[in-house]
């Protein structure tokens, strides 16, 4: 495994591990395989793990704790707070200082640790000034409950306001070959401010692996509700994935490795966290650090993407409303 600089003196694995799918959103959980995957991550040197309190309503943090707690010194753990659901199941975000303080205590208890390495606000609360939310998070640093602050799906204006209150060490957003909005403003801002950028879903939720059969997704797989995975985009995306797989074969790697190598090539401050609950996928992802792309390779990828532009949006309208954007 290769490592990348984070914060002042941390070295994190260049490929992290997104743990959401072990307990949330992607089909039926398999705790036995998930635990084995976490142990495999340690064997591979993948030490940067990402979870959130909302994943499985806390069950993901509890699952991870089984491997995290006895291996605490080896793992850099990130979790997030803020999503809540009402009695009807409607999801909203709470970034109030009072909620920040209660949420961190609950996460620490579930993770069975004393300090969280990286604590993210899972979204930006439009009803709470970002300075107040980050101020409350900064108090947790002083108390020794968290070490670094992060924001997820934040706009440049929110990032800069937050960074002025307390250093923001990481910004997390969706970023892949098919989701590139952050290239316009967020990525340059992170580079300017010395903030790590952490892409989630860097494999386009499996689409760029050329192994995703949308028709076989289970009813409890949340991708069935996302525009990109609907029938009207299926032919375009299947052709794109097949063409990408051919290019990967020419380069002697798998499609997943090529997709992750492309993300890694976009900046030294970028640390993607592909999610999986399977050992074989984790091992495949880890191999991406050995794939080095030339300018010609990157050009070939751009030509292929231009050939199949009808990929569909990443989120539905309800999910878009929870993403912070500059006006």
Answering whether pTM is above 0.95, one says no
Catalytic residue among 3, 26, 55, 229: 55
Tokens of 84: 């809540």
* Beta strands in the chain, from DSSP E residues, in sequence order: 3-6, 10-13, 17-18, 48-50, 76-81, 83-85, 91-93, 116-121, 146-152, 168-174, 196-200
Q: Looking at residue 294, what is its pLDDT? A: 95
CB atoms within 10 A of CB 93: 20
Is residue 92 very low, low, confident or very high in pLDDT (cuts 50, 70, 90)? confident
The candidate with the shortest Cα–Cα distance to 42, out of 67, 19, 59, is 67
Q: Please write the tens of the pLDDT for every residue from 12-50.
A: 999 999 999 999 766 788 999 999 999 999 999 999 999
Q: Alpha helix locations (H) across 90-230?
A: 97-111, 130-142, 156-165, 186-193
The candidate with the shortest Cα–Cα distance to 170, out of 2, 1, 59, 4, is 4
Q: Looking at residue 298, what is its pLDDT? A: 97
Q: In this model, does residue 72 exceed pLDDT 70?
A: yes
Is 26 a residue of the active site?
A: no
Q: Looking at residue 26, what is its pLDDT? A: 67
Is residue 87 very low, low, confident or very high in pLDDT (cuts 50, 70, 90)? confident
Q: Please write the tens of the pLDDT for every residue from 256-290.
A: 999 999 999 999 999 999 999 999 999 999 999 99
Q: What percent of the chain has pLDDT over 90?
A: 78
Q: What percent of the chain has pLDDT over 70?
A: 98
Tokens of 205: 């939720």
Cα gap 254→281, rounded to integer Å: 11
Q: Walk me through the domains of the chain, giving residue ranges and CATH numbers.
A: 3-204+256-291 (3.20.20.100)
Looking at 101-110, 216-225, 301-310, which range is the least confident one? 216-225
Work out the mean pLDDT of the chain and round it to a whole number. Answer: 93
Query: Are 121 and 151 in contact, with CB atoms under 8 Å apart?
Result: yes
């Amino acid at each position: 495994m290769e490592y990348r600089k984070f914060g002042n003196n941390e070295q994190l694995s260049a490929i992290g591990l997104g743990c959401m799918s072990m307990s949330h959103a992607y089909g039926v959980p398999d705790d036995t395989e998930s635990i084995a995957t976490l142990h495999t991550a340690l064997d591979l040197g993948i030490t940067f793990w990402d979870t959130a309190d909302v994943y499985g309503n806390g069950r993901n943090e509890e699952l991870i704790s089984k491997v995290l707690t006895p291996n605490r010194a080896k793992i850099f753990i990130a979790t997030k707070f803020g999503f809540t659901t009402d009695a009807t199941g409607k999801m909203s975000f709470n970034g109030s200082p009072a909620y920040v303080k209660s949420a961190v205590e609950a996460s620490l208890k579930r993770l069975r640790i004393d300090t969280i390495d990286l604590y993210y606000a899972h979204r930006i609360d439009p009803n709470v000034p970002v300075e107040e939310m980050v101020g409350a998070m900064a108090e947790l640093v002083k108390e020794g409950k968290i070490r670094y602050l992060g924001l997820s799906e934040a706009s440049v204006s929110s990032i800069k306001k937050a960074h002025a209150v307390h250093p923001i060490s990481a910004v997390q957003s969706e970023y892949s070959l098919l989701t590139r909005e952050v290239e316009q403003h967020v990525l340059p801002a992170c580079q300017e401010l010395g903030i790590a950028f952490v892409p989630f879903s860097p494999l386009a939720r499996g689409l760029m692996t050329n192994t995703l059969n949308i028709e076989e997704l289970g009813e409890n797989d949340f991708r069935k509700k996302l525009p990109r995975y609907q029938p009207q985009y299926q032919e375009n995306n299947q052709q794109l994935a097949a063409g990408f797989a051919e290019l990967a074969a020419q380069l002697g790697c798998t499609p997943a490795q090529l997709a992750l190598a492309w993300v890694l090539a976009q900046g030294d401050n970028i640390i993607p966290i592909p999610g999986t609950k399977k050992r074989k996928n984790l091992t495949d992802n880890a191999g991406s650090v050995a794939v080095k792309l030339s300018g010609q390779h990157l050009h070939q990828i751009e030509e292929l993407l231009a050939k199949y532009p009808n990929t569909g949006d990443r989120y539905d309208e309800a999910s878009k409303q929870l993403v912070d954007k500059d006006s």
